[in-house]
Amino acid sequence: AQTVTQSQPEMSVQEAETVTLSCTYDTSESDYYLFWYKQPPSRQMILVIRQEAYKQQNATENRFSVNFQKAAKSFSLKISDSQLGDAAMYFCAYKRETSGSRLTFGEGTQLTVNP
């Protein structure tokens, strides 16, 4: 079974600074997908960024980027120029390549942004 581990229960960053959230996963499959979701206090689950395992290029969405290391099974999220609105719980998630497969979530990292 696949597992996803986020080893940082809490992180904090100063506004306008950069922060990196860690995620590792365990799988025996070669094709899969990885996601970062953000859950603000409103408890919505908002997709931040996605990465296909077959792509070597790291995904980027504006201030959000990932460092995908397939061999190390690592998928970290970098937030640049942090804003107060970035404060939230961040979940790393794994999805098998086959259609209809479930998301397996990590435990989450609570990010605080200090003004």
Site for other proteins, rule CB under 8 A: 33, 35, 37, 42-47, 50-52, 91, 97, 99-103, 105-108
Angstrom CA distances, 18 to 33, 89, 93, 96, 113, stand at 25, 16, 22, 30, 10
Which residue, 38 or 86, has its beta carbon nearer to other proteins? 38
Closest approach, Cβ 107 to other proteins, in A, equals: 5
Closest approach, Cβ 78 to other proteins, in A, equals: 19
Q: Which residues pair with 91 in a beta bridge?
A: 37
Tell me the C-alpha distance between 92 and 56, whole Å. Answer: 19
Which residue, 38 or 82, has its beta carbon nearer to other proteins? 38
